[in-house]
Amino acid sequence: EAQVTQNPRYLITVTGKKLTVTCSQNMNHEYMSWYRQDPGLGLRQIYYSMNVEVTDKGDVPEGYKVSRKEKRNFPLILESPSPNQTSLYFCASSLVREAGEQYFGPGTRLTVT
Amino acid sequence: GQNIDQPTEMTATEGAIVQINCTYQTSGFNGLFWYQQHAGEAPTFLSYNVLDGLEEKGRFSSFLSRSKGYSYLLLKELQMKDSASYLCAVRAAGNKLTFGGGTRVLVKP
């Protein structure tokens, strides 16, 4: 089954404790992206990647890191999480070609206390 | 930068038609997407426009005017299951994607 998976689905952590949210897709998509979704602010792109070893900043990259060592994986790293990073996070992937619709993962709800 | 505006909320009756407008300002345009998102779930793709005009897909249609920076999503023969948020997103040159705040549509019997 074609899908985007994220882990964990739920995470409660404390300020400053490094964490990684994994994202994996099995559709051989070149394009992968991370978003956060907050009430009243909608979906905002954090980072995206056009292919292996190619990453670019989205609209809200501060406080986040990503890597794209393999085509299928695109982990999101929070080196020192803060409470303002409490949010719902989505990973998505698509083909690069023009009409590449994005497939979203199920989301990760992160709470930083 | 990019700016995308869409209404916050709309209410319509089952069986009716609803039109959700989206206006955008962007530096470089590489396509406009509409997504549907039910509460607590991930967004799912509805439509894509890159050229001016209307794209029809069953009960859903999407229109684009690049010169006006304007798009709309038309939902026909509304069903209760269409109650959801509808997200307009613009892809700029370089494939950066920016979403609007979303329009919550409530379908009433």
Q: How far is CA B58 from CA A42, A100, B18, in A?
A: 27, 20, 14
Q: In angstroms, rounded to a whole number, what is the distance separating the alpha carbons of residues B26 and B3?
A: 7
Mean pLDDT, consecutive 10-residue stretches, chain B (109 aa), reads 89 97 91 94 94 95 97 97 96 84 96
Taking all residues of chain A, what is their mean pLDDT, rounded to a whole number?
A: 94
Q: What is the pLDDT of residue B73?
A: 98
Which one of B45, B96, B99 has the shortest CB-CB distance to A101? B45
Q: What is the pLDDT of residue A99?
A: 55
Which residues does chain B have within 8 Å of residue A58's beta carbon, measured at their own beta carbons?
96-97
Which of B96, B103, B104 to mutate against chain A (most A CBs within 10 Å)?
Answer: B96
Q: Are A104 and B99 within 8 A, CB to CB?
A: no
Given a cut of 80, whether residue A5 has pLDDT beyond it is: yes
Dump pLDDT digits (tens) for B75-89.
999 999 999 999 999
Question: Under DSSP, is residue B71 helix (H, G, I), strand (E, B) or coil?
Answer: strand
Q: Are A104 and B30 within 8 A, CB to CB?
A: no
Which tops the pLDDT comparison, B94 or A112? A112
Average the pLDDT over A22-32 and give the result. 95
Among residues of chain A, what percentage have pLDDT more than 90?
Answer: 86
Q: What is the pLDDT of residue A100?
A: 67
Q: Are A99 and B89 within 8 A, CB to CB?
A: no
Dump pLDDT digits (tens) for A92-111.
999 876 556 889 999 999 99
- For strand B84-91 and strand B70-75, is the pairing parallel, antiparallel, or unpaired? unpaired
Contact A25, A93 (CB under 8 A): yes
Q: How far is CA A72 from CA A68, B7, B93, B95, in A?
A: 8, 36, 24, 19
Q: Are B102 and A56 within 8 A, CB to CB?
A: no
**Residue linked to tokens 């930083």:** A112
Q: Are B95 and A40 within 8 A, CB to CB?
A: no
Contact B42, A105 (CB under 8 A): yes
